Amino acid sequence: MSKRPSPDPVAVLRGHRASVTDISFHPFKPILFSGSADGELRIWDTFRRQTVSSAWLHSAAHGIVALASSSSLGTNKFVSQGRDGTLKVWDFDDAGLSRIPSLTIKTNTYHFCKFSMAKNQSTGLKEGEPSKDCIETEEAHTNQSCSESSEGLPYVALSGENSSEVEIWDLKSAERFVRLPSNIGHNSSSVSSKGMCMALQLFVPSESRGFLNVMAGEFEALVCATVPRMPWDVFAHSFLLLCMVKGVMTKCVSSNQNSVTKVSQFYEAQVILLYIAFLFLLYAVSGVLSFSSLADSLPPVTRASPSTCRMGFGYEDGSMLWWDVRNPGAPISSVKFHSEPVLSVCIDESCKGGVSGAADEKIVMYSLDHSSGTCVVNKEITLERPGISGTSIRPDGKIAATAGWDHRVRIYNYRKGNALAVLKYHHATCNAVTFSSDCKLMASASADSTVALWELYPPRT
């Protein structure tokens, strides 16, 4: 690493009275959201470097755990999570922040695991332009990046009421539709013995053909899973075949009305019953069969429906699991990169790798092989002092950052894993770090009640 002096922030945002627990850039606008341990939210103008609006969204006794703004919610909404067991969706505009949430979900979760909004494979976006789900092709595969979709993916993943479980909720219906692990199978008890879920991320890699994925970082495991979808085109094909059979029988009946009528009616009824039985049998075993060709024929929004989810999460003992929701009783694989609870997991924009931080002295950069269901270490970085609260990867996949207990923000070359800088502005534990969607700004949040803005290695324009 270079011996050049540590760069200073381009701006320091002051106004919070308590530890700043989480921060999130708006996907399109020059806006930054910050939340603190006393329940206060502040909306900052990153151009003018001043507060636009502020309000107490959660009680001071519980505080704000996490914040997120996503294009899937629209341009004037964001989500907050408190340790009061609620997840709230808020509206804001130029006049300020709404005082009443547009949606409140009572999750009954009271731990420190931050929720995650769904990310979906898409091409680059312009301001105000909704993202489009990507269909994997050989030509476009290497150029596609993972960003939050505005087309039918208003989903959040969070640690469940049972702290060893992970749940996915639909923000439109305010309903929970996935819980992992299920109580089915003997492995559910072994998973619960791993401890609490402490970090997670929801995403859709191109290899999943539209299957929604959640990378969760709990205290110990990483999990990815897939939920099957009802094969609607099988119903359509079967209906057409029934019509053809009926047409043939109608001709037979018309040619010999007296002798064939009863026989044709009998066989027509038998064919209908057989196809109904076949369809129910096909759906019953859909957890075993792979409907890849059917998934490819579905439109992007349909393929990213709640019933097509994959999920990943980590646990308290430092291990990481990978699940397929079609088989919720047992994980696909299990790895253990950390010796202490996993506190942060971040997936890169290609959805083929990520970074994890924990209560130990390690930062791990890893790759994900979706075809084989494996997670392999690319780079393991050992720190002098333990404790990483947050991790983030810049949207262009070049820079990774970590927020440490030692008051430091560390910057790495994500592709090579070598250290680039150590930022020493904050005077207390760094709780979170994040990048703007245009890659021009990075923000760090600290227990010293400040938010720092940084301009580091700006992308070439």
- Does 173 map to a domain? yes
Of 337, 355, 382, the domain-final residue: 382
- Is 290 part of a structural domain of the chain? no
127, burial (CB in 10 Å: exposed 0-12, middle 13-18, buried 19+): exposed
Residue 167 in contact with residue 176, Cβ under 8 Å? yes
What's the domain range around 260? 232-285
Contact in structure between 426 and 9 (CB atoms under 8 Å): no
Residues 154 and 176 in one domain: yes
Residue 114 and residue 166: Cα distance in Å, rounded? 11
Strand 199-203 versus strand 175-180 pairing type? unpaired
Q: For the whole model, what pTM was predicted? A: 0.76
Q: Which residues of the chain have pLDDT under 50?
A: 1, 122-152, 184-186, 218-237, 240, 245, 248-256, 259-263, 286-308
How many Å apart are CA 210 and CA 446, to the nearest integer?
A: 36
Asked if residue 167 is part of any domain, the answer here is yes
Query: What pLDDT score does 181 carry?
Result: 75
> Does some domain include residue 237?
yes
**Whether 214 and 260 share a structural domain:** no
Regarding whether 325 and 209 lie in a shared domain, the answer is yes
* 72/152 same-domain check: no
Residue at 295 is within a domain: no
pLDDT recorded at residue 352: 87
**Is 35 part of a structural domain of the chain?**
yes
The pLDDT assigned to 279 comes to 61
Distance in angstroms (rounded) separating the CA atoms of residues 14 and 449: 7
Contact 222, 336 (CB under 8 A): no
Residue that is last in its domain, among 344, 363, 382:
382
**In a shared domain, residues 199 and 314:** yes
Q: Do 29 and 153 belong together in one domain?
A: no
Whether residue 216 is found in the same domain as residue 315:
yes
Yes or no: say if 1 and 420 are a contact pair by the CB < 8 Å rule.
yes
Same domain, 99 and 224: no
pLDDT score recorded for residue 143: 38
Q: How many structural domains does the chain have?
A: 3
Kind of pairing, strands 353-358 and 342-347?
A: antiparallel
* Same structural domain, 193 and 212: yes
For the chain, the farthest-separated pair of C-alpha atoms sits apart, in whole angstroms, at: 99
Specify whether 223 is located in the same domain as 158.
yes
**Does residue 198 sit in the same domain as residue 311?**
yes
**In sequence order, what DSSP letters do the residues of 359-421 get, joined into one string?**
SSSEEEEEEEETTTTEEEEEEEEE-SS--EEEEEE-TTSSEEEEEETTS-EEEEETTT--EEE
Nearby residues of 248 by Cβ (< 8 Å), 6 or more positions away = none
Residues 456 and 376 in one domain: no
User: Is the residue at 297 inside a domain?
Assistant: no
Closest to 435 (Cα-Cα) out of 401, 387, 389, 390: 401
**Rounded distance between C-alpha atoms, residue 153 and residue 170, angstroms:** 8
Torsion angle of the four alpha carbons 100, 101, 102, 108, in this order, in degrees rounded to the nearest 10: -140
Assess contact for 431 and 458: CB atoms under 8 A: no
Amino acid at 461: T
Write the DSSP symbol of residue 437. Answer: T
